[in-house]
Amino acid sequence: MSLLLSFPPIPPEGSVTVCEQNAELLALPKEVAADQLRMQGLPYPIVDVAQDLLRPSISRVSARSAFIEHTETPHKCLLQAWHEHGVSGVLEELAAGNREPVAVGRTVSLLASVLLGAVRWANSLRGTICPHLMMTNEDMVAEFSPNSNWRDAYIRCFAWHPHTMKFAIALQDDSVKVYIGCKTDVTPTLKHKLQKGVADVAWSYMSSSILAVACQACTLIWHVDPTSLASRPSTSSVQVLTRPGHSPVTGLAWCPTGDTLVTGSAADSSILVWEVSREMCTALRRFGCIGNSVLSWSPDGSNLLAASPAAEFRVWECRRWTTEKWCNLSGRVKCAQWSPDGNILLFATVNEPIIYSLAFQHSGDFKDPGTGGSKVAVQCADLSETVIGGISVGGNIQAMAWDQTGERLAVQFTACELIALFQTRMQPVLEIIPSGFVCGSVGDIPSVISFQPSFAHGALLTVVWARGTVSYIPLYFIPAKSIQKSALSQQRSGNMPVPVALQPTTLFSRGDNDW
């Protein structure tokens, strides 16, 4: 039975979720909601980028279309075919025989035709085993992006800084804007000739100014000076991290305990561990891996999740860089979230409306090469599509976000305009408790959801809508840790209640260790 049936009623049509108070979500009419947000005095900028985007993404426009066609020499024609299509492009030109622009002998043309047929057969075989490898770079980024509408969304990526009051958004035109609270009118805009097809953005934990941007051909490291008044930082403030075969970059993650950056591509079996200051990397490889579509570092920096486009994922132990594999999933991992202490991993697959959890226990022994993960994952929430009040909600999961206290979990669905909000408890066992639905204006479709890591009054849910706006929804509550500190005297008197939790059911099994 779907857990959504236990939710409170859906807010009436025309209402907008404003905040959470007294463990209940408050939804008001759109006109009143705007005044309510102003009364709360939240120091966050108003974001509406729809009017700023006057042209399509530069990744969709070919530079070749800007020039008048003219006759090229055979050598230039072959060189251009090599740059645009690789070996296949050169063979196609040679196989064309004596027609212009490349004039070759009959023997060379016949040999090129045979080789081209062999290449196409090999590509078709590879496409049968790994269909995603036959996609274009743009199609691959759209397929594996956490944004449900990456192609057409005005805002493609969103990232809060882990410590300061700023966030970055990647726009449809491949520019990146940095918003710094409401105390300044300067909004730095980051542009670079290699910044095309942006798939992800992430701030470094160890700096207030370093931003990583995952692009089609490389990873860009921007150094955005927080004290600068320049609205267009120069390209001298950017580093380019690139490696042959590692494209498009579909995911990246900073280590929470240092300046190490990992990048992954759905088309490359290697995970690159970058020492950013030296622009050097080390490749992590495992036999049988066909790419890396999701990367997520645990908050304590001890484990790294790497999910592939296949129905399996790995967790790397980051002290000695050993790995364990979990398989037998119903499909590839669509999204994943670590608990704030790094002891629980929640994930959902692309084919099921179910949240699974995996427990991790750290022994603290450096000689122990394991990740500490359980042998089996457990099913902890069934969010199957159901009808509530005449409205269809739930279904396959697009994205999840877990706040810094570990007490609020937001779930975005693939084909639903509502966001499900849960209360969570991790002790003595994981509990996921229905809280309510978060809704925007009529017709608003969520693109990206995220929690601000440094909100001091509970949790702040940020929702990026497909029309190019950003909503801030404060969830006011007192974290359990604060309550426990103030309740020590009651605990000594023996009056503390004991929470009761339901035991989840098991499902996926872990594969053999392969360190």
193: exposed, middle or buried (Cβ count in 10 Å: 0-12, 13-18, 19+): exposed
Domains of the chain, by residue range, sit at 70-135
Cβ proximity of 496 and 427 under 8 Å = no
pLDDT at 365: 56
Reported confidence tier of residue 292, pLDDT bands at 50, 70, 90: very high
pLDDT tens track for 141-189: 999 999 988 999 999 999 999 998 899 999 999 999 999 877 677 889 9
Separation of alpha carbons 421 and 432, rounded Å: 10
Give residues with Cβ within 8 angstroms of 241, minimum separation 6.
218, 219, 220, 221, 261, 263, 274, 276, 279, 281
Reported confidence tier of residue 350, pLDDT bands at 50, 70, 90: very high
Separation of alpha carbons 405 and 484, rounded Å: 13
pLDDT at 367: 59
- Is the pLDDT score of 99 beyond 80? no
pLDDT at 504: 41
Separation of alpha carbons 27 and 36, rounded Å: 10
Amino acid found at 352: E
pLDDT at 241: 96
- Is the pLDDT score of 136 beyond 80? yes
Separation of alpha carbons 427 and 435, rounded Å: 18
Lowest mean pLDDT among 126-135, 231-240, 322-331, 496-505: 496-505
Reported confidence tier of residue 100, pLDDT bands at 50, 70, 90: very low
More confident site: 213 or 502 = 213
Count CA within 13 A, CB hemisphere, residue 342: 19
Cβ proximity of 419 and 409 under 8 Å = no
Nearest residue to 187 (alpha-carbon basis) of 47, 370, 283: 47
pLDDT at 68: 47
pLDDT tens track for 329-344: 999 999 999 999 999 9
Reported confidence tier of residue 499, pLDDT bands at 50, 70, 90: very low
Separation of alpha carbons 222 and 476, rounded Å: 34
What is the CB neighbour count within 10 angstroms for residue 377?
24
- Over residues 238-265, the mean pLDDT reads 92
Cβ proximity of 184 and 196 under 8 Å = no
Bridge partners of residue 326, in order along the sequence: 313, 510
Contacts 24+ apart (CB under 8 A), 210-213: 210/276, 211/159, 211/168, 211/176, 211/178, 212/252, 212/254, 212/261, 213/170, 213/176
pLDDT at 463: 96
Q: What percent of the chain has pLDDT over 90?
A: 52
Separation of alpha carbons 160 and 449, rounded Å: 11
Q: What is the CA radius of gyration of the chain?
A: 25
- Is the pLDDT score of 507 beyond 50? no
Contacts 24+ apart (CB under 8 A), 266-273: 266/132, 266/140, 266/143, 266/144, 266/291, 266/292, 266/293, 266/309, 267/132, 267/133, 267/140, 267/291, 268/292, 270/246, 271/295, 271/304, 271/306, 271/316, 272/243, 272/246
- Given CA atoms 88, 90, 95, 101 in this order, what sign does their dihedral have? positive
More confident site: 232 or 23 = 23
Work out the mean pLDDT of the chain and round it to a whole number.
83
Nearest residue to 355 (alpha-carbon basis) of 327, 334, 386: 334
Lowest mean pLDDT among 180-184, 213-217, 358-362: 180-184
Separation of alpha carbons 381 and 435, rounded Å: 13
pTM score, whole prediction? 0.81
pLDDT at 372: 80
- Is the pLDDT score of 324 beyond 50? yes
pLDDT at 101: 42
Amino acid found at 458: G
Separation of alpha carbons 124 and 128, rounded Å: 6
> Cα-flanking dihedrals φ and ψ of residue 359, to 5°?
-90, 145
More confident site: 46 or 406 = 406
Reading the block at residue 366, the tokens are 């450096």
Reported confidence tier of residue 62, pLDDT bands at 50, 70, 90: very low
pLDDT tens track for 364-401: 555 566 778 888 899 999 999 999 988 999 999 999 99
Reported confidence tier of residue 255, pLDDT bands at 50, 70, 90: very high
pLDDT at 60: 45
Separation of alpha carbons 189 and 203, rounded Å: 15
Give residues with Cβ within 8 angstroms of 396, minimum separation 6.
334, 348, 350, 351, 352, 353, 413, 414, 415
Contacts 24+ apart (CB under 8 A), 133-139: 133/267, 133/290, 133/291, 137/197, 137/216, 137/247, 137/248, 138/59, 138/60, 138/197, 138/216
DSSP 157-226: EEEE-SSSS-EEEEETTS-EEEE--SS-----EE--TT--S--EEEE-TT-SSEEEEE-SS-EEEEE--T
Separation of alpha carbons 374 and 378, rounded Å: 10
Lowest mean pLDDT among 38-47, 320-329, 415-424, 432-441: 38-47
Peptide bond connecting 248 to the previous residue in cis, omega within 30 degrees of 0: yes
Separation of alpha carbons 512 and 256, rounded Å: 28
Q: What percent of the chain has pLDDT over 70?
A: 78
- Is the pLDDT score of 11 beyond 70? yes
SS3 32: helix
> Cα-flanking dihedrals φ and ψ of residue 210, to 5°?
-100, 125
- Is the pLDDT score of 459 beyond 70? yes
CA 371 to chain centre: 23
SS3 256: coil
Reported confidence tier of residue 509, pLDDT bands at 50, 70, 90: very low
> Cα-flanking dihedrals φ and ψ of residue 489, to 5°?
-65, -35
Task: Give the E-state strand segments of 327-469 in sequence order.
Answer: 333-338, 344-349, 354-359, 376-382, 386-388, 391-393, 397-402, 408-413, 419-425, 431-438, 446-451, 458-465
